[in-house]
Amino acid sequence: MGSGSNKAGNAAEIDRLALAVAMDPGSKAFIPLAEEYGKAGMWDEAAGVLEDGLKASPNFIIAMVALGRVYEQLNQPAKAIAILEEAIKLSPENFRAHRILAKIYMSQGVKEAGLRSCGVILAANPQDVEVLSLRATLEALAVPASAELAPPQPVIESVQPASQPASESAVTMEKVEEPRYVDIMQRDRPEAATDRATITPEQKSATVIQLEQWLSLIRGRRRDRTASTNNNP
């Protein structure tokens, strides 16, 4: 029953405040309306109300810090940091803004900025247990001098035996191909034909000599046949 009545009361308060804001957009009623939305877990609605309120009342510190907290709840740390940093520029000792910033910076691992916000709060209240815990966590993020990484050692690459360079390969190919090229050039020269024409009969093979003898015999028979025909008209 208690939980149900609280929800009903929260809904009624939201309706009342929403009506007030609607009737007077420039009023500061949007601040408690955003708080009621936050109690109900309606963070998107809270963000919308605060954003609209800041358009009508820019640099309203309370609204800026409230919006930073809403962004934190919506898991939008970049937006939260931006609005809260603006808030502490306008109000450097706004402890609520610094507290939210310290939490966000710790979750993001941003040491220096987090320690700065902790320092502002602890300067006013050195016994703040929550902030002392945040500071200890942030300080633990520092890398001790003994744990610094040693300078990287130069990497010595193993040199593999290189294959024959391309230029040497080209020279080798030229040397291999050159004899064939020279032979062809020499074979096609006019001097080569002259050399072949000067070969003596003794250098011819027996087969060539035999062929020449057959040709001579055939020519002789043709002459005899021609002479016989002429003698017998």
- Report the percent of the chain where pLDDT is more than 70: 59
Are the beta carbons of 50 and 34 closer than 8 angstroms? yes
Are 86 and 111 within one domain?
no
Overall residue count recorded for the chain in this entry: 233
Are 75 and 32 within one domain?
yes
Are 98 and 113 within one domain?
yes
Boundary-marking domain end, from 52, 75, 91: 91
pLDDT tens-place string over residues 39-58: 999 999 999 999 999 999 99
Are 21 and 64 within one domain?
yes
Residue 71 is predicted with a pLDDT of: 98
Q: Among 40-44, 46-50, 86-90, 157-161, which is the least confidently predicted range? A: 157-161
The closest of 65, 6, 16, 1 to 41, measured between CA atoms, is 6
Residue 58 identity (one-letter amino acid): P
Are 101 and 138 within one domain?
yes
Residue 172 identity (one-letter amino acid): T
Residue 85 is predicted with a pLDDT of: 98
Boundaries of domain holding 44 = 8-91
H or E segment to which residue 7 belongs: helix 2-23
Residue 165 is predicted with a pLDDT of: 47
Which range of 61-75, 130-144, 154-168, 184-198 scores highest in mean pLDDT? It is 61-75
Alpha helices of 125-205 — where are they, by DSSP H? 129-139, 166-188, 190-197
Whether the pLDDT of residue 156 is over 70: the answer is: no
Are 71 and 99 within one domain?
no
The closest of 49, 41, 55 to 10, measured between CA atoms, is 41
Q: What's the mean per-residue pLDDT of the chain?
A: 77
Q: In CATH, what number is assigned to the domain containing residue 49?
A: 1.25.40.10
Q: Number of folded domains in the chain?
A: 2
**Confidence bin at 33 (pLDDT 50/70/90):** very high
Q: 61-98 burial, b if ≥16 CB within 10 A, otherwise e?
A: ebbbbbbbbbbbeeeebeebbebbeebbeebeebbbbb
Helices (H) and strands (E) in the chain, counts: 11, 0
Residue 70 is predicted with a pLDDT of: 98
Residue 146 or 2, more confident: 2
The closest of 11, 74, 75, 4 to 39, measured between CA atoms, is 11
Whether the pLDDT of residue 160 is over 90: the answer is: no
Distances (CA, A) of 94 to 16, 56, 88, 165, 180: 30, 22, 6, 73, 95
Are 64 and 128 within one domain?
no
The closest of 99, 153, 146, 156 to 122, measured between CA atoms, is 99
H or E segment to which residue 104 belongs: helix 95-108
**Confidence bin at 169 (pLDDT 50/70/90):** very low
Q: What is the mean pLDDT of residues 55-73?
A: 97
